[in-house]
Amino acid sequence: MEFIKPCKQYLDSYYKAMQETYAETLHKYIIHNPEEYENWKDTIFTDYENSEKGINLPKGFIPSATFWLVDNGEYIGTANIRLGLTDALKYFGGNVGFIVKKSARGMGYGEIIAKLSIEKARELLGCPVLVTCFKDNLAATKNVEKCGVISKAEEIITEAGKTGMAVKYWL
């Protein structure tokens, strides 16, 4: 198992994962639309590097580092670590976002990517990190709660067209 910077070796596997995962994912900003593959296949790795360096960021965005979880030569999931917090990220999003491709869910990879991404975020930021998720996202809350929660709070929020109870964890 590897937790690595995205690289070309796993691009085909990533593209296949997007075909099964993109449409049903609520928060799409850390993944890619497979229907637009031709538009991002040649720029994806430079885009990730630029995002980390703060180059060409969309308005209101701050630098972020992206990692892929890979197992047995297959892309499994993405972790995106925001290297700071804006008011919008404090509201929802936090420092760490992670996703496991649909066909690999329910096999324990969520726990692994949550632990690795939260550890990496603490290392990169040098301080406790914020992770947010909807309370009804049971797989996410279970995983995050195994990662050394310092404190948590609940708040009703509206995000991506959904209004619901969110849990905000400091870890």
Ligand X SMILES: CC(C)(COP(=O)(O)OP(=O)(O)OC[C@H]1O[C@@H](n2cnc3c(N)ncnc32)[C@H](O)[C@@H]1OP(=O)(O)O)[C@@H](O)C(=O)NCCC(=O)NCCS
Task: State the residues that interact with ligand X by CB under 6 A.
Answer: 25, 97-100, 105-111, 131, 133, 137-140, 142-143
CB of 160 to ligand X, least distance (A): 11
Nearer to ligand X, 51 or 95 (CB): 95
Considering the complex, state which of residue 55 and residue 93 has its C-beta at the smaller distance from ligand X. Answer: 93
In whole angstroms, give the CA distance from residue 87 to residue 78.
24
DSSP the chain: -EEE---GGGHHHHHHHHHHHSTT-S--TTS--GGGHHHHTTTHHHHHHHHHHT-SPPTT---EEEEEEEETTEEEEEEEEESS--HHHHHTT-SEEEEE-GGGTTSSHHHHHHHHHHHHHHHHHSS--EEEEETT-HHHHHHHTTS--SEEEEEEEEETTEEEEEEEEE-
Shortest Å distance, C-beta 106 to ligand X: 5
Q: How far is the CB of 77 from ligand X (least distance, A)?
A: 7
d(CA 162, CA 10): 32
* CB-based closest residue to ligand X: 110
CB 133 to ligand X: min, Å: 4
Residue nearer to ligand X on the CB measure, 140 or 171: 140
| Nearer CB in complex with ligand X: 52/111 | 111
Closer to ligand X by Cβ: residue 138 or 153 = 138
Nearest-CA neighbor of 99 among 83, 110, 112? 110
CB of 157 to ligand X, least distance (A): 13
